[in-house]
Structures are given as C-alpha cells and as structure tokens.
Amino acid sequence: MKALWLILIGLLGLSACKPGPGSSCDPREARCLDAKRAIVCDDGKFVETPCRGKAGCSTVQESTACDISGNQPGDVCGKSDEGVAVCSAGDAMLACHGRKFERVPCRGPRGCEMVGAQANCDQSVAEPGEACKKQNAKACSADKSQVLSCNDGHMAATYFCRGENRCSAGAGKLACDQTIAKLGDVCDKSLSGHIACSEDKKSLITCQNERFIPSERCKPGTLCTISGQSTKCEKP
C-alpha cells in the first residue's frame, strides 16, 4: 500500500477570526483552507499551499497535516519547509526549495525511495544547477567529465576528471581520475604534490595550492606516460 506523505504540521491558532493568506501568524502555525489547500506561516504571514495528495488537508488534535505527494513543480511552500521532499517517481523527487516545489532528478543507481516520511534521493550523479540539500556533498556529472559539489542549495562544477576512468560513483564512494589535467584545473588539497600528464602528453603538471601548475617539459622524443602510480616522461 502506498503511504501518504504528510508535511506542514502546525498548531492551530486560538483566534476566533478565520485567517487567510496574508493574515498574521505565529511560527509553524498552519490551517486547512479546505480539503485540498492549507495556509502555512511564512515570516509572520500566512501563505497558501496546495495539498494535492489523496489525504488532502486534515486537522487532527489541533494539528494540520498537508499531503504533498501529488504536488507539482512551481507550487508554493513555506520557508520553514525548506528541504521537505517526497519521491515523485522512481528517478525523481519533489522538494521545497526557495519557497517553491521543484522537481529534482535522482540520477544515481538507487533513484528515489521513501524511508519513513523522508525521500532518499540518490544524487551521486547530477547536473550543474540542480537543487541539493547537503552542503559540500559531491556527485559525478551525468557525462562523467567532472565532480560537482553542493553549494548554497545547487550543484556546481568543482573538478574536471580528464583521465581514462573519468568520474565514477558507486557503493557510497566517488572517484575522479585526474591522471590527465590542464594547467589551471582545480585539484583537491588532498592531492597536493600529485603529478599528472598534460592533455597533449608533452608535459608533467603538479597539483599545488589546489591548482595544477607546470612541473616538467618532456624532452624531445619522449611523452608523459602513466603506469600504475608512476607518471613520467619516457620514450613511447
């Protein structure tokens, strides 16, 4: 049986006047407008939000519950519900972000699954600009060319993975092959001293101060080669 995912639990106000959107309210206060709509407190004023799921909007023991399982991207949500989400499909979730619900792809192999009342979205694979919740969480781009990092609620490009194995994610781990890099590419501080080949294989470059810088120009007749943990100039 499909569970009903309810959010926006709030205490009913004690005023005899019936409030509506724009009315003053207390933090976390919420009410049902009707069977499919609720008002929730957002910075001291009520805003209207839909409850499109089968359970709609209901009040039990002076608390209000809104079923968002059927809500759509662009629907309004309250600031206090930032990050609240439900799986909208096997490969996507609907999440409250910036006072609006938006569709967030779950491109990783586990897709989206509900764990209790919480949506578990596998974002180990993502695209730049997609919404995310955990600051500094890492992902591979869908084309495997780079590592993305969650910054201020959105995925942003961090490192290029120009090596043969590119970017890979699995079993909770992420790997970025930077055995080949460009001058100026960003590198993690944990790779300080790491030597890579330039893309044309004519130079060795080194990770220093989180950037790849020149290290050594290969002599004529030699090229940069990678063998196991060894990177050096030698005859092809």
Q: Which domains does the chain have, with CATH numbers?
A: 6-119 (no CATH), 123-164 (no CATH), 178-234 (2.30.130.50)
pLDDT of res. 89:
86
Secondary structure letter of residue 145 according to DSSP: S
Count the alpha carbons within 13 Å of 157 in the hemisphere toward its beta carbon.
10
Determine how β-strand 138-141 pairs with β-strand 45-50: unpaired
pLDDT of 11 reads 44
Residue type at 84 in one-letter notation? V
| Ranges under pLDDT 70 in the chain | 1-17
Question: Which has the closest alpha carbon to 64: 90, 89, 32, 36?
Answer: 32
pTM of the model: 0.76
